[in-house]
Structure 1
Amino acid sequence: MKIISITAFPFSLPTRRDFRWAGMLGNLGNFVAVRVETENDVVGWGEATPLPDWGGDFGRHAGETVKTVIEMVQNVLGPALIGSDVSDVTRAAQIMNHVAVGNVYAKCAVSIALYDAWGKVTGLPVYRLLGGKVRDGVAVAHMVGLMPQAEAVQEAVMAVEDGVGTLQIKGGVDSARDISLITELRRLLGDGITLRMDANQGYGHGKNASRVVRQLTDAGVSLVEQPSQGLRYMSEVTASSSVPIVADESCWDIHDAYDVVRERAADCFSIYLAKAGGFGGACKVADFAESHLMACDVNGSIESAIGTAANVHFALARPSVSLAAVIAISAPSGTHPYRVAGHYYDDDVLAEPMTVKDGALLPLDAPGLGIVVDEEKLQSFRSDK
């Protein structure tokens, strides 16, 4: 089934409240939709959630913007793939890597769209194209953004009341606030809830980062994500920590994953489809982690339904992706199953809400990404009109 067109355009979703993390300059909810069309009118959808102010350690990986993603898809990546068979996803990744260095968010959006179209051609959900599911649901971790402590406590408690068992708490700006917040949440929520503090590299280097992690541990934290920047400093924290350390900014692709393991710089990986350039690259990281007995999660920048569906399929199909996923629970306006948990947007581009049970997203069993994109609504959310 030959590809006949690849197009891209921007869109935005309305947020339930302001969500942000350390170093974030823009706003949540800005995306690029990628539309791949094949012969016989099969359409695959992909998505990018680019951020210009977020990248790897010491600028090792560059940020992207909505405009750069559209430019790369429309004028570089897309033209190079026209005429290819939509099922040749590995070859497509090779072609994209040949015609463009970096630009992994743009490549990921194309990758997702190719898999969606391929699944629709074969009548199979994407998780089957990735090898089949190894779990029956994807546990969701609710992200509690940077906000005053009283608001953060309210957000966290309501998310747990909704049914999730893991919270990702954004911190890294004020370590004293982070320690106080973890102390309060552990007191209120008890020992059965996983509290994951994400510092976004904010605790400095060496002894300071190690000291803060020890204090968070004493306060009741379960995991700490990216407390420092750089493998040398991450390895110092990891060696001194009694709770697992998660590498996010330090691990984008399989090459970073190798370096993290070699330097013993983390206990777990946080995998983004976007950081790895799509399904193929993300699967390499997850399978590498499995071979080193490391747990992973699938994470991102809180995607719309298109990107969330891709995350669900990936998490279903990879054994190492066993940590609760920091992803949205996608639903159209007025149909969200929860007040707070996984509820980042007031509306979304899918026709029916995703199904959730006991804080876990259930498999999407329809062909491709398993969702019906409401194209009329998607057009209404376009931000270039």
Structure 2
Amino acid sequence: MATAKITDVERILLVVPFVERVRREMERARIHRWAEVEVIRVETDAGIVGYGETIQNYTWGRVNITERVLGRSPFELMWDDSLGAGLQMALFDAAGKLAGVPIYRLLGHKVREWAPISFWDHDMAPEKYEVEAKKAVELGYTSIKIKARPWFDVHETIRRISAATPDHFCIDADWNDFLLGVSYAVPVLRVLEEEFPKIKIYEGPIRADDVAGNKLLRSQIRTATAHHYGSIPGRTAISEGYCDGFVIGGGVSRIVADGLAAGMANMPFFLQMVGTGLTTTLALHLGAVLSHAQWPAVTCHELYEHNLLTGRIDVIGGHARVPEAPGLGVELDEAALARYRVDEADHTLPRRLVKFSRACGVNVYFANDSHHTSEMWRYFSLNNQPVFERGNHTELLDDDGSAEFDDLYRRAQTGPVLTR
């Protein structure tokens, strides 16, 4: 089987919608485009088929050229991150099936049978996060990663999640640098950790390249802080001690290398690999062999309407069991492939406004979305409004056909519109 060669690569484009309860929030954040999934199907001359997927508008690497793998062995190419997410995953799946072993056996020595995994949601209103936290508990999770944004009341969000979940439940708050600097970060983070013991990790509170600031921040709070491995050189991050652990993602080669480096430094990390059940399963295999993948992985597969597998990935006590069958060890749902298959993805949205409101009565209107490439993101990152003020609220406004909406919408196309 080791001599088997790849004979064909099929690219299957899908649009897998998000579940209804979060769909509108994903549209506001302009990440509804993560619904576009390319499934890669690799065939070999041994009759073995491997599957992988790429989340087209999130991935660390799209699949560009498939012809280069034809006539070659999956074992020869599977460690090549430049192939892109879906193709690399499909090669590992095929290689495992050819060898008759689960993927983790191709990656290293197994250190755990059950890998920690977290629930995840993008930024949303406190009352909606409360619903999501309850859903996470219902599905077997013991933690949730939230997006802490200045356009929502983060204090109220964490209060609601804390009140709605069991005592053992944990919260990881990802700030995406919005606390700006130590002078803003320390008071906010201290209040939260004093009032809400369920907070366990602060991810990216301030910019990762502010090494001195992160070291000072770490000395002023007791909650663990995390940054993406590679945001600054790994050697600097480890030797300077500017965070307690890492977020690790990317291709398989990069993940294994970064994970081993973190392990040698005795620093925990969580895997961040966004996708459906296919990507989640690969994350479980990686979590099985990387000793310091001790923090719960983030994959967001629960937000998709279908995980593309024939069965659910059971989560028990915040952990999922690593598959033992060959390859990925899961079965792709061919009926789901047919149901969600499209010739071209259409992510068009209707005209909308994002309305940000402060308790003092100030309102700011933005055009369409709060994505990290948007004017809204830039506006808050430059501190045009207070950082994490209580009482902040944001809502998505539909076009009601009125002249007032039309006027606001047109003005917002050129920049934020502030009213009182």
Distance in 2 separating the partners of 1:49 and 1:259: 31
Residues 189-200 of structure 1 correspond to what in structure 2 (within 5 A)? 189=165, 191-200=167-176
Q: Which residue number corresponds to residue 101 of structure 2?
A: 124
Q: Which amino acid aligns with 2:190?
A: R
Q: Which residue number corresponds to residue 7 of structure 2?
A: 4
Question: Given the alignment of the two structures, is residue 40 of structure 1 paired with residue 18 of structure 2, yes or no?
Answer: no
Question: Given the alignment of the two structures, is residue 305 of structure 1 paired with residue 277 of structure 2, yes or no?
Answer: yes
Distance in 2 separating the partners of 1:180 and 1:91: 45
Mark the runs of 5 or more structure 2 residues left unpaired by the alignment: 345-420
Q: Which amino acid aligns with 1:45?
A: Y
Mark the runs of 5 or more structure 1 residues left unpaired by the alignment: 55-62, 97-105, 330-342
Q: Which structure: greater strand fraction?
A: 2
Per-residue deviation at 1:228?
2.0
Distance in 2 separating the partners of 1:367 and 1:85: 17
Q: Which residue number corresponds to residue 307 of structure 2?
A: 348
- Of 269, 274, 288, 1:316 maps to 288
* Other structure's SS at 1:114 match: helix
* Other structure's SS at 2:74 match: coil
Per-residue deviation at 1:22?
12
* Other structure's SS at 1:35 match: strand
Distance in 2 separating the partners of 1:236 and 1:88: 46
Residues 56-205 of structure 1 correspond to what in structure 2 (within 5 A)? 69-70=62-63, 72=64, 75=65, 78-89=66-77, 92-93=80-81, 96=82, 107-174=84-151, 177-189=153-165, 191-205=167-181
Residues 226-265 of structure 1 correspond to what in structure 2 (within 5 A)? 226-232=204-210, 233-248=213-228, 251-252=229-230, 256-265=233-242
User: In terms of mean alpha carbon deviation, does 21-30 or 42-51 score higher?
Assistant: 21-30
* Other structure's SS at 1:357 match: coil
Change (3 A) 1:234 1:347: same
Q: Which residue number corresponds to residue 374 of structure 1?
A: 333
Per-residue deviation at 1:208?
1.4
Distance in 1 separating the partners of 2:79 and 2:299: 29
* Other structure's SS at 1:168 match: strand
Q: Which string of whole-angstrom CA distances, capped at 9 and with x for unpartnered residues, describes residues 90-120 of structure 1?
A: 6644xx4xxxxxxxxx623222111100001
TM-score, normalised with respect to structure 2: 0.72
* Other structure's SS at 2:172 match: strand
Distance in 1 separating the partners of 2:329 and 2:95: 12
Distance in 2 separating the partners of 1:31 and 1:381: 9
Change (3 A) 1:305 1:215: same
Distance in 2 separating the partners of 1:137 and 1:147: 30
Change (3 A) 1:258 1:47: farther
Contact 1:210 1:236 in 2 (8 A): no
Q: Which residue number corresponds to residue 30 of structure 2?
A: 25
Distance in 2 separating the partners of 1:40 and 1:289: 38
Q: Which amino acid aligns with 2:169?
A: I
Q: Which residue number corresponds to residue 394 of structure 2?
A: none
Q: Which residue number corresponds to residue 290 of structure 1?
A: 263
Q: Which amino acid aligns with 1:47?
A: E
Q: Which string of whole-angstrom CA distances, capped at 9 and with x for unpartnered residues, describes residues 6-60 of structure 1?
A: 34332121221326589942314222212222222222111112436x9xxxxxx
- Of 201, 210, 220, 2:186 maps to 210
- Size of the aligned set, in residue pairs, is 334
TM-score, normalised with respect to structure 1: 0.78
Distance in 1 separating the partners of 2:189 and 2:36: 33
Distance in 2 separating the partners of 1:308 and 1:91: 18
Distance in 2 separating the partners of 1:41 and 1:162: 37
Per-residue deviation at 1:305?
1.6
Q: Which residue number corresponds to residue 201 of structure 2?
A: 223
* Other structure's SS at 1:370 match: coil
Contact 1:172 1:203 in 2 (8 A): no
Distance in 2 separating the partners of 1:172 and 1:258: 30
Q: Which residue number corresponds to residue 337 of structure 1?
A: none
